[in-house]
Amino acid sequence: MRAFDKVPSSWHEQIINLLAERVVIVDDNGIILYINEGYCEFIGTTMEDALGRHVQDVIENSRMHIVAQTGLKELASVQHINGSEMIANRFPIVEEEQIVGAVGNVMFRNPEEWRMYKSKIQSLVDELNYYQARVQRDLQSKYSFQDLIGDSPNFLAAKTLAQRVSRSDSSVLLIGESGTGKELFAHAIHHDSNRSAAPFVAINCSSIPEHLLESELFGYADGAFTGAKKGGKKGQFELASGGTLFLDEIGDMPLTMQSKLLRVLQEKEVVRVGGHKSIPVDVRIIAATHRNLERMVEKGDFRQDLYYRLNVIKIDIPPLRTRKKDIPGIAKRLLKKLEARFFRNGIELSYEVTERLMQHSWPGNIRELENVLERSINVLDGKTILLMHLPLYLRDRETEGGNEGNLHNEQTVSVSNILSAEPKNILPLKETLIQAEKHAIEQALVVTKGNKLEAAKLLEIGKTSFYDKCKLYDIS
């Protein structure tokens, strides 16, 4: 039994009509065995009048009888009919190595239909080209060394070293607190390198689940797992080949992945997940972390051999609190960036605001400063940011010795206020600690603009512990 025998014969005609709008079938002598209503309407006849007649007597300039004799298929063939040109396909029907007939269908009834179809296809091609170009732009560096603002000696030293090593292919390790601009440095190094015309691919090692990190970095082969994309998928190493791969938060990479990464760096080739073929890759590695990798190596949390492989050139990016004289210039550049996003122009900082910004310790560094400025623009009516436009934790802060405390000082003040309350208002120690902890979490979320992962890093506690405490204290 053939597979199609299981399909009820009453379905056959409906299936044909669904698959093709205008269909004709002839035997080896060119006699019409079947023609559907759509074709009949197109040529101005009826099924009753057409069936049993030679195809040449029914369809103008038909070649169906020729295909039924030669066995040669004709694809997208132009046929003059009804005073115009249609486009048709014609296929021979073969049984037991003998040509027994032919089937044909009309693709386009006239040039207008073809042009309409071509227009639709062209729009899809244009859209595809647009997104391909966009992907290419996304894989280019977005910042240069001109975007790294600051004249402080420690910052200039880091910037000068980065410029000096940018044209080599050596691995670079960027060390610095969260929000100091490590990714900007990575972009700038690539932009100034000999690889600047090739892709710049960035991946955050802490934001991708461990079970997905390997396929994200190295790609996967066709059929590697359920739901895998047909034909497989390139990993970030392949996408970055010829250019630069930026591994942000490398200190959060699991040990199992560290060994696989080391092998790729040593062998300069990757094997996709579920695959067996080695694919050569040529990438320059720039890694970044806010963690103390030397201490992690001592504890066994980071592979020593991988550390030395990455730490060819180490660049320490100073925190904002050690380069406060750079704050006005950085704030000005950030305002220009935010003005474009908010369709504003000419926004300035008042003298009092500039002073207050320079007094703050910025535990969230430049990222926190940008969040503060964005918040201020959201509530700004005019063009000058005043103290009243700053977040509450900056606006109401008392200056101590010309230098404001950081987030931890803020927590200390909060606890101090609680403990110095009137005796009748003193809370049990457990409740006091709960309030202090809740206050610290809320302030950290203010600084990081709701980013829980960054807030957990500021408080130096684990991500799981942070989420548990947010749930316990009903902090959204």
Asked which of 11-15, 56-60, 223-227, 382-386 is least confident by mean pLDDT, the reply is 223-227
Q: What is the mean pLDDT of residues 83-96?
A: 88
Q: What is the mean pLDDT of residues 389-407?
A: 61
Average pLDDT, the chain: 85
CA angle 388, 389, 391 (to 5 degrees): 95
Task: Let me know: does 441 contact 469? Beta carbons within 8 Å.
Answer: yes
Phi and psi torsions of 74, nearest 5°: -125, 115
Higher-pLDDT residue of 382, 113: 382
Considering the chain, what percentage of its residues have pLDDT values greater than 90?
54
Strand (E) or helix (H) holding 248? strand 244-248
pTM above 0.95, yes or no: no
Higher-pLDDT residue of 417, 48: 48
pLDDT at 162: 96
Phi and psi torsions of 380, nearest 5°: -90, 130
pLDDT at 375: 92
For residue 402, name the pLDDT band (cuts at 50, 70, 90): very low
Higher-pLDDT residue of 205, 130: 205
* pLDDT over threshold 60, residue 423: no
pLDDT at 232: 86
For residue 269, name the pLDDT band (cuts at 50, 70, 90): very high
* pLDDT over threshold 50, residue 401: no
pLDDT at 229: 72
For residue 440, name the pLDDT band (cuts at 50, 70, 90): confident
Q: Which tens digit of pLDDT belongs to each residue from 207-265?
A: 888 888 999 999 998 877 766 677 788 999 999 999 999 999 999 999 999 999 999 99
Q: Which tens digit of pLDDT belongs to each residue from 305-355?
A: 999 999 999 999 999 999 999 999 999 999 999 998 888 889 999 999 999
* pLDDT over threshold 50, residue 428: yes
* pLDDT over threshold 80, residue 19: no
The position carrying tokens 């942000």 is: 248
Closest CA to 254 of 224, 304, 214, 299: 214
Higher-pLDDT residue of 116, 8: 8
The position carrying tokens 């994200």 is: 216
pLDDT at 427: 61
* pLDDT over threshold 50, residue 421: no
Task: Let me know: does 278 contact 237? Beta carbons within 8 Å.
Answer: no
> What does R_g of the chain's alpha carbons equal in angstroms?
35
* pLDDT over threshold 70, residue 167: yes
pLDDT at 327: 95
* pLDDT over threshold 50, residue 404: no
Asked which of 39-48, 73-82, 136-145, 264-273 is least confident by mean pLDDT, the reply is 136-145
Q: Which tens digit of pLDDT belongs to each residue from 101-138?
A: 999 998 877 667 666 766 666 666 666 666 655 555 56
* pLDDT over threshold 80, residue 67: yes
Q: What is the mean pLDDT of residues 58-67?
A: 93
Written as six digits, the tokens of 325 are 């004289």
